[in-house]
Amino acid sequence: MKAKDFSGIRNNGPLPNPQEMEMPEDFSDLLDDYVESTNSSLDELEQVTLAYEAANDREGNAVTIRRIIHKIKGESAMVGIDEMSDFCHQAEFAFEELTEDKRPDMLLRFKDWTCTALHNLAERI
């Protein structure tokens, strides 16, 4: 199967449908925990993004943002949701490529897409 293209997060381009995210082949017992943990991370990401946008401690908040995306990426990989891991990977690239003023929009788009995907995933568990 052709890998989905998540590079649209880097240039405000189109993204795959979040409601069609592939479930892991090995249905992990950890999926409930994964959804809960990722939702929690996304809440934190939203707060930190807003603080970043308001130009509060940009350097410190950038570190936190990188850590949150990296954590979601790692957890997604460990439970076998490769598409989410790929999406995070592209978001990491985007964060480094974009100028400071364009980062918040990208991050909020990342958060919205991921929330929708998770919601859909939770309904299928």
Interaction with other proteins in 68-107: which residues (CB under 8 A)?
Answer: 70-71, 73-75, 77-80, 85, 89
Tokens representing residue 85 in the block: 């891991």
What is the distance between the alpha carbons of residues 87 and 114, in angstroms, rounded to a whole number? 9
Q: At what angle do helices 82-97 and 103-124 cross, to 10 degrees?
A: 170
Candidates 11-19, 29-37, 52-60, 117-125; binding stretch for other proteins (CB under 8 A): 29-37
Q: Which residue has the tokens 């989905």?
A: 4
Report, in Å, the least distance between residue 64 CB and other proteins. 8
Q: Which residues are at the interface with other proteins (CB under 8 A)?
A: 28, 30, 33-34, 37, 64, 66-67, 70-71, 73-75, 77-80, 85, 89
